[in-house]
Each structure stands twice: as structure tokens, then as C-alpha cells.
């Protein structure tokens, strides 16, 4: 069985919403890419 994944990085949530829509449409698993270090200047 073929597995499809969608991976995304999102700081503001915009890309997260798009990734969720893509994953849903493609019946894909969704994985968030997390920075190893926070963007301290922006607090994210």
C-alpha cells in the first residue's frame, strides 16, 4: 500500500492550514517540521 505524507513548516499558521487541506484531499499523513531552536527574536 502506498503511503503519502505532507510535511510542513509553519510559523504563522498559514502554511499549516494549506498543509492540512492538502493532506485531507490526498488522504495523507501530516507531519509538522519543528525547528530545533526557537526563533528567539520572534518568540516562535
Ligand X SMILES: Cc1cc2nc3c(=O)[nH]c(=O)nc-3n(C[C@H](O)[C@H](O)[C@H](O)COP(=O)(O)O)c2cc1C
> Interface with ligand X by CB under 6 A: which residues?
9-16, 39, 42
- At residue 5, the 3 state secondary structure works out as strand
Task: Return the number of the residue (2 or 12) whose C-beta is nearest ligand X.
Answer: 12
Query: What's the CA gap between 35 and 13, in Å, rounded?
Result: 15
Asked whether the beta carbons of 11 and 44 are under 8 A apart, the reply is yes
In this complex, which beta carbon is closest to ligand X, that of residue 3 or of residue 37? 37
Rounded least distance, CB 21 to ligand X, Å: 13
Nearer to ligand X, 16 or 20 (CB): 16
Amino acid at each position: 500500500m502506498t503511503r503519502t505524507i505532507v510535511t510542513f513548516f509553519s510559523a504563522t499558521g498559514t502554511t499549516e492550514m494549506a498543509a492540512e487541506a492538502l493532506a485531507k484531499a490526498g488522504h495523507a499523513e501530516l507531519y509538522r517540521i519543528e525547528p530545533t531552536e526557537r526563533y528567539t527574536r520572534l518568540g516562535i
